[in-house]
Chain A
Amino acid sequence: MAERAEPVITPALVAGLGVAGFLAALSLGTVAVVAAAADTPGHLGAGDWAALKFTLSQALVSAALSTILAIPVARALARRRFFGRDLLITLLGAPFILPVIVAVLGLLAVYGRGGLISELLVALGYAPLSIYGFRGVVLAHVFFNLPLATRLLLQGWQRVPGEHFLLAAQLGMSTRDINRVIERPILRSVLPGAFATIFLLCVTSFAVALTLGGGPRATTIELAIYQAFRFDFDMGRAALLALMQFAIGAGAAVFAWRLARDGAPGAGLGRVARRWDCAGFAARIIDGAVLAAVSLFLLAPLAMVLLRGVFGLGLLDAGAVTALVRSVIVALMSTALTLGMALVLGTAVARHGAGHMAGWIESAGHLSLAASPMVIGTGLFILLYPLVDPASVALAVTALVNAVMSLPFALRALVPVMRHVQSVEGMLADSLDMGGWARFRLVTWPAIRPAAGFAAGLAAALSMGDLGVVALFADPDAATLPLYLYRLMGSYRMEAAQGAALLLVAVSIMLFRLFDWLGKGA
């Protein structure tokens, strides 16, 4: 037993508070900067309330469907071992990291009016599919977020020590018993957070909702913010709308916090989780069917992106290679920043888990989920413009904002594991008076390395695909690959743009696999 109580203020806490303060300044501070630059105080019109209503309803349905559908998928992945499982998990995650325009065109290539399914229907004498409207928005958001929900749930499953299933088998528990005793508490601990995260991703959606929404009914708050800047140049209104988005974010966070029950499954000794209960024929068929269906749903659009891209690859020139290199550099910087911030926040949260401070620190890490990229970009622009040439800091700002944007996902991956390490090894480490770097290196790091690899891979891939705020700071001579892709499209060069999309997807997946592999490495 530790002799002494946990000190109230530790270096870990101070560092955590520092990073949290920086994040709050970046997301909330930029709203204040934009509001301060307004000529007139903003006010909201009837259109904005309609946008709020649409934003909330589509996000609720999209998040609910994504998380509910993810349950059987994550369960099937958790209890089956088969050849290519790792690769399948990686590929299933790909939609989440695709640039919006690429994903939308891929989606339409399968489910659109001129897509594969429609072509088949028309050939058979039926009317083509019509996906535009509310269902189109939901379809696209499920396409983007089902992979994320699956990953988050799968992580929960994987935290169950193998010993639990061994014990369950010894006790002769059925699949149903295991579901009640082991799996449901896990879901209870993971689902609300996953739901809230995806809900907010759908709240801040803009181009996807508009393109598949079929008309101005599909106006989200983020589109209204864009309109306030670009069409009306009304910064006061933009700031108000951004605050509205934060209020929704706070609501979602409270919901997740109230509903989540700590289902931390306790300690194990790292035994491989083997399932004795679901070797039956029916269970296998169900899991196989679930995986086949979800693979078809998610991978068919991806396959179309890849297929169409092959022809375009030959049309790319040195400019594409330069843009790719630039994107990789930004992604690596962004990954380092994400991981650094996540570890600092995670350490503070894990060691001060019971205190109020830890809650605030963890919340700060998630602020960017509800932030408007447009407002962050504009706020930073107003702050930096008097000091430097925006183009000269374009890549640095992009890396920073991308890092902050992927931080919530890194925290989702790392914090539970870091808490777990603290609860299992913390007392021993305390009793040895092990602290600081030695404790991190010898105790924490070996245990969290796989999660850190996953978080880094996700951050790198997300940064690769994100156009984010770079548009405002853009240096015409220093385009990243997504910007380069948009420029190709904007100059009628659709074929070459598809080649660039293929390049982007391939390198993003490679970076993800690389970090994931480094995390798992011996």
Chain B
Amino acid sequence: MIRISLMAAGLALALAGAPMAAEKPVLNVYTYDSFASDWGPGPKVEKAFEAICDCDLKFTTAGDGAALLARVQLEGKRSRADVVLGLDTSLTARAAESGLFAPHGITPENLAVPGGWNDPLFLPFDWGYFAFVYDKNKLKTVPRSFKELAAAPDSLKIVIEDPRSSTPGLGLLLWVKAAYGDKAPEIWKGLAPHILTVTKGWSEAYGMFLKGEADMVLSYTTSPAYHLIAENDDSKAAAIFDEGHYMQIEVAGKMATAPHPDLADKFLKFMMSEKFQSLIPTTNWMYPAVQLKDGLPRRFAAPIPADKALILSPERAQAVRDAALAEWQSALSQ
């Protein structure tokens, strides 16, 4: 009986679309999949913003940041999006070139993004450092740099994501490039014996790591915080590298063709507010873009010092991308 009523409830939910919001304007926010999922910031952001905007906030999702940009480019000037949330600085040069985005006109206050911010089209909503995550109980000798990783015994295996299909994968490509410049191919050659495999996306790689396939996985310095806070498991840690860590700064922008430009502005302001930002650490597992009043949640690791931050400007990232990919492919295909 319980099962039947559960099924019925499920069926009703499945068949009923989103509840019709009478005459309220609909603000369309395009984002990546995990932002809007049940466990991401999406549902809470939606509730909080709808409480103040007298509007209906609707998320539309595309796989990840790059898929999101491709989707907006595919829709072009006919797009019904007001705000696009979830690109990062390796994509913003291409996004700006598309001419689809309008200036936000906001001067962010209290910014907590290392290196500051002055992009007229895009505003940061969170950020983090890429890092290799490992299990403290299993990996005893932890490499402290790419060079140490390359010099480690061949039995030390890492899983990385493919830069062509994944955001962290592209992040690693730019990380090695930012740290080593012209020497990047040598580093990749040194890493090659340790690369167990390359996956399509973060989920596959992280899943393989959790199942014990590899000793380390390319993820974020904030990943251990999830295990610590949500699972009370302190066995995971991020290896801190001497070369510094590449930053991912996630941004949002207003569409030039936004059907509701005023609501879009309001949303971007809300995005920089305490209310939105305080949701970020334990739902998106990244660092908030502004200083929170009460600081980071307990047990959420403080970021590594800002002088260890590596990042290429959006233009530079765009310019070196294709060559860096070719180097990566040839170094790992031998």
Contact = CB atoms under 8 A, between A and B. Distances in A.
Interface of A: 37, 47, 50, 101, 104-105, 108-109, 112-114, 132, 136, 206-207, 210-218, 223, 226-227, 229-231, 233, 318-319, 321-322, 324-326, 329, 378, 381-382, 385-386, 389, 391-392, 471-472, 474-478, 486-494, 497
Given A213-B197, A230-B165, A487 B33 contact: yes
B162 A476 contact: no
Interface of B: 6-7, 9-11, 13-14, 17-18, 33-34, 36-40, 42, 59-63, 66-67, 69-71, 73-75, 78, 80, 94, 157, 162-165, 192, 195-204, 206-208, 210-214, 223, 226-227, 230, 285, 328-329, 332-333
Contacts of A321: 6-7, 9-10
Nearest to A494: B210
Given A391-B60, A487-B34, A215 B197 contact: yes
A47 B6 CA distance: 51
Contact of A217 (B9, B223, B332): B332
10 contacts: A37-B74, A101-B207, A114-B213, A207-B200, A211-B198, A212-B197, A214-B196, A230-B164, A233-B94, A491-B37
Nearest to B325: A231
Contacts of A109: 211
Contacts of A101: 203-204, 207
Given A216-B328, A487-B37, A490-B203, A477 B18 contact: yes
A492 B226 contact: yes
A316 B164 CA distance: 32
Given A132-B196, A211-B208, A214-B196, 11 more contacts: A105-B207, A109-B211, A207-B200, A211-B204, A233-B69, A476-B33, A476-B59, A487-B34, A492-B206, A492-B223, A494-B206
Main secondary structure of the interface of B (DSSP, over half): helix
A47 B330 CA distance: 10
Contacts of B17: 392, 477-478
Contact of A318 (B9, B39, B78, B94): B9
Main SS at interface, chain A: helix
Contacts of B212: 113-114
B211 to A, nearest CB: 6
A326 to B, nearest CB: 4
B82 to A, nearest CB: 14
Please give me the 4 A-B residue pairs with the lowest Cβ-Cβ distance, nearest first: A114-B212, A489-B203, A325-B10, A491-B39
B210 A211 contact: no
A211 B6 CA distance: 37
A493 B34 CA distance: 12
B70 A492 contact: no
Given A210-B198, A214-B195, A486 B203 contact: yes
A114 B13 CA distance: 40
